A and B are shown apart, each in its own frame.
Chain A
């Protein structure tokens, strides 16, 4: 578990209701210093509300927010050492880049020479040097975003909040900005809390990941943990899993499935439930022995080239007439196979992840 001293931000039992809509229900979250934590979830799951409560722009109905073991639940946004990069960037349209970035420093009565120095340094960091005199309407989307980032970072906040920071950027800019964000975060060591609905962004950026659904955090863990072992069907689906296998218990470690008996390393807590396996974990083997545990020989329904590899859709060959959801297998781009051909695959027991039945679905 995490070191107590290392905890930067701690939210406990946070609830918030708007009218009859429960935006947050008893949410707890702890964020380590110097990490990037992503709050991931579909729109309307309450992730932005949680971010606004951390920023101090919203007061929770219940619960507390601690920053460096200091209660800041009722401290207004203007007094918190936390800054936000807003989704719309919210730059002051009548102020130029320099004044936008200097706003927070001026508000805190920083000496003029310090302001000039700090603004220059931070603009260099986000590669906007020479743009001081430009107005927001003269900037591109990516530049506006970097101004918003600089405007927040120049105050040296303890925590930087980013509300869907990539949503207004083109796809090719996104990966570039993600890399830049990581670099900047490493350089400054600031704690970043990021809200997004894009699982790829979460995967690429974060150390820890909190998946939210209908006002609750339903899984929290390191990004690796969450992606390899999603707790339930909702998380698995949201993270892009497609291979859901119905399984029923035969013995303690062996479960019977549509694709034959499977040996499972993680013991499920049910007798009938679902197992998932990530497509890239399924191994294509020529030496398939049908009938044995974890071996499956299927008929290729389709082969799709997807850019970095080949997606192969496999169905059980014995019952042609019954429509079934195919198993998705990922192969190397040069892997050749024809539709209708048979293919032997192996499901490694350590990569079969049973989904928790008692939480969502």
Chain B
């Protein structure tokens, strides 16, 4: 912006002329940044009324007030939606955890920490870690599921990304198709496949691994089969977005520089796929921790996870306050994991774009 092209309105406001000039130049260089950057007030503060009237350059002449109004208009509806239907219920649920259950399953509004104490193992017959054990098992199952998904997703996404562009679509469709089938239906399908008359069970029986005529469920094998098949697309799709954009020359450079397979993965593949991998791990681990359908159908009593427990408290036991305490624990763990993940993003590792590179 040249001096002369400034409209007369600005030229008249000599008190804030300096501020406008500096804003103009920065806005011209990086208009997007100007929206987020806090505007540093000049030392002799103009009154609040002046502030709303001060023109700033942002691709057009506008005032801060109208910018805020615009932002509110854009962000308002979704914010309202999330507040009413997500934040508020979550808060209510957390509050519920500090009430107690009446004799008929009704909620007695009376501040108590009994539910938390129960969660941490207090019973009428002394201390028992049963619930903590279930939480730990949920974490473990989610962890194993995530690791298995990562191990399967890397070769899978590399396979897809190295196909000709036209064929990739079909592979991706194959990957997404299970999404269109309900989890319950898929879990029952596994029940069928692992049934006693089917080849897998019969082969296992022939090898003496299971009793003759027994199915392959319930048990960890069935649970992990169900979990991995449910969550593989969650892992593979975000990872694929990273793998698709890989700079293959860097892999070739690693090969050319005598890199071993391990070095190629660690120095050329992992840094380039980290954004997709991070998203994949989060969208796999977090829902895997709360999963109850698969374990309910394929798992049996020994595989009970926190998801099953919560569902039981709300549905069968009609103990909403304790269910709320368990849900609170789950929410707390989820947020903790997200926080750890965010903390782990180091500046040197931010390769390319991705959900978590723009966080700070």
Known contacts A57-B252, A77-B252, A95-B267, A90 near B247 by CB under 8 Å: yes
Q: Is B254 an interface residue (CB 8 A)?
A: yes
Partner of A83, one of B250, B257, B268, B271: B257
| Cα of A79 to Cα of B254 in the assembled complex, Å | 12
Partner of A94, one of B254, B256, B348: B348
Partner of B250, one of A90, A104, A107, A155: A90
- Which residues of the other chain, B, contact A135 by a CB distance below 8 angstroms? 348
Are B252 and A90 in touch, CB under 8 angstroms? Answer: yes
Partner of B257, one of A57, A87, A93, A107: A107
Are A104 and B349 in touch, CB under 8 angstroms? Answer: no
A77's closest neighbor in chain B, by CB?
B255
- Which residues of the other chain, B, contact A77 by a CB distance below 8 angstroms? 252, 255-256
Are A78 and B252 in touch, CB under 8 angstroms? Answer: no
| Cα of A84 to Cα of B267 in the assembled complex, Å | 18
Q: What is the minimal beta-carbon distance from B272 to any residue of chain A, in angstroms?
A: 8
Are A84 and B271 in touch, CB under 8 angstroms? Answer: no
Q: What is the minimal beta-carbon distance from A344 to any residue of chain B, in angstroms?
A: 56
List the one stretch of B46-54, B57-65, B258-266 in contact with chain A: B258-266
- Which residues of the other chain, B, contact A92 by a CB distance below 8 angstroms? 250, 253-254, 267-268, 271
| Cα of A82 to Cα of B268 in the assembled complex, Å | 20
Q: Is B351 an interface residue (CB 8 A)?
A: yes
Interface string of B140-156 (1 = CB under 8 A from A): 00000000000000000
Within 8 A of A (CB), among B337-353: 348-349, 351
- Residue of B254, B255, B271 contacting most chain A CB atoms (<10 Å): B255
Q: Is A238 an interface residue (CB 8 A)?
A: no
Are B255 and A78 in touch, CB under 8 angstroms? Answer: yes
| Cα of A197 to Cα of B250 in the assembled complex, Å | 23
Q: Is A234 an interface residue (CB 8 A)?
A: no
B258's closest neighbor in chain A, by CB?
A107
Q: Is A76 an interface residue (CB 8 A)?
A: yes
Q: Is A103 an interface residue (CB 8 A)?
A: yes
- Residue of A76, A82, A92 contacting most chain B CB atoms (<10 Å): A92
- Which residues of the other chain, A, contact B14 by a CB distance below 8 angstroms? none
Within 8 A of B (CB), among A151-198: 151-152, 155
- Which residues of the other chain, B, contact A90 by a CB distance below 8 angstroms? 247, 249-250, 252-253
A108's closest neighbor in chain B, by CB?
B258
Q: How many residues of B contact A (CB 8 A)?
A: 20
| Cα of A135 to Cα of B250 in the assembled complex, Å | 15
Are A103 and B259 in touch, CB under 8 angstroms? Answer: yes
Interface string of A71-115 (1 = CB under 8 A from B): 000001111001110111011111100000001101110000000
A151's closest neighbor in chain B, by CB?
B257
Q: What is the minimal beta-carbon distance from B242 to any residue of chain A, in angstroms?
A: 13
Q: Is A55 an interface residue (CB 8 A)?
A: yes
| Cα of A87 to Cα of B253 in the assembled complex, Å | 11
- Residue of B247, B252, B253 contacting most chain A CB atoms (<10 Å): B253
Q: What is the minimal beta-carbon distance from B353 to any residue of chain A, in angstroms?
A: 13
Within 8 A of A (CB), among B249-297: 249-250, 252-260, 263, 267-268, 271-272
- Which residues of the other chain, B, contact A78 by a CB distance below 8 angstroms? 255-260
- Which residues of the other chain, A, contact B348 by a CB distance below 8 angstroms? 94, 135
B274's closest neighbor in chain A, by CB?
A94
Are A55 and B349 in touch, CB under 8 angstroms? Answer: no
Known contacts A92-B268, A95-B267, A107-B263, A84 near B351 by CB under 8 Å: no
| Cα of A183 to Cα of B183 in the assembled complex, Å | 67
Within 8 A of B (CB), among A42-83: 55-57, 76-79, 82-83
- Which residues of the other chain, A, contact B252 by a CB distance below 8 angstroms? 57, 77, 84, 86, 90
Are A104 and B271 in touch, CB under 8 angstroms? Answer: no
Q: What is the minimal beta-carbon distance from A72 to any residue of chain B, in angstroms?
A: 14
Known contacts A78-B259, A107-B263, A93 near B271 by CB under 8 Å: yes
| Cα of A335 to Cα of B92 in the assembled complex, Å | 93
Are B258 and A86 in touch, CB under 8 angstroms? Answer: no
Known contacts A92-B267, A94-B349, A94-B351, A103 near B249 by CB under 8 Å: no
Q: What is the minimal beta-carbon distance from A159 to any residue of chain B, in angstroms?
A: 12
| Cα of A93 to Cα of B258 in the assembled complex, Å | 18
| Cα of A155 to Cα of B258 in the assembled complex, Å | 10
Partner of A88, one of B249, B254, B272, B351: B249
| Cα of A90 to Cα of B258 in the assembled complex, Å | 15
- Which residues of the other chain, A, contact B272 by a CB distance below 8 angstroms? 93
- Which residues of the other chain, A, contact B263 by a CB distance below 8 angstroms? 103, 106-107
A58's closest neighbor in chain B, by CB?
B252
| Cα of A106 to Cα of B247 in the assembled complex, Å | 22
| Cα of A56 to Cα of B258 in the assembled complex, Å | 12
Q: What is the minimal beta-carbon distance from A52 to any residue of chain B, in angstroms?
A: 8
| Cα of A152 to Cα of B256 in the assembled complex, Å | 9
- Residue of B249, B257, B268 contacting most chain A CB atoms (<10 Å): B257
- Which residues of the other chain, A, contact B267 by a CB distance below 8 angstroms? 92, 94-95, 103
A88's closest neighbor in chain B, by CB?
B249
| Cα of A202 to Cα of B250 in the assembled complex, Å | 26
| Cα of A96 to Cα of B103 in the assembled complex, Å | 66
Please give 6 more A-B residue pairs, beta carbons under 8 A apart, in addition to A78-B260, A90-B253, A152-B256: A78-B255, A78-B256, A78-B258, A79-B258, A88-B247, A107-B263
11 contacts between A and B (CB under 8 A): A57-B256, A77-B252, A78-B256, A79-B258, A92-B254, A92-B271, A94-B348, A94-B349, A103-B257, A103-B259, A104-B258
Interface residues of A (CB under 8 A from B): 55-57, 76-79, 82-84, 86-88, 90-95, 103-104, 106-108, 135, 151-152, 155
Across the A-B interface, the 3 shortest Cβ-Cβ residue pairs: A104-B257, A90-B253, A90-B249
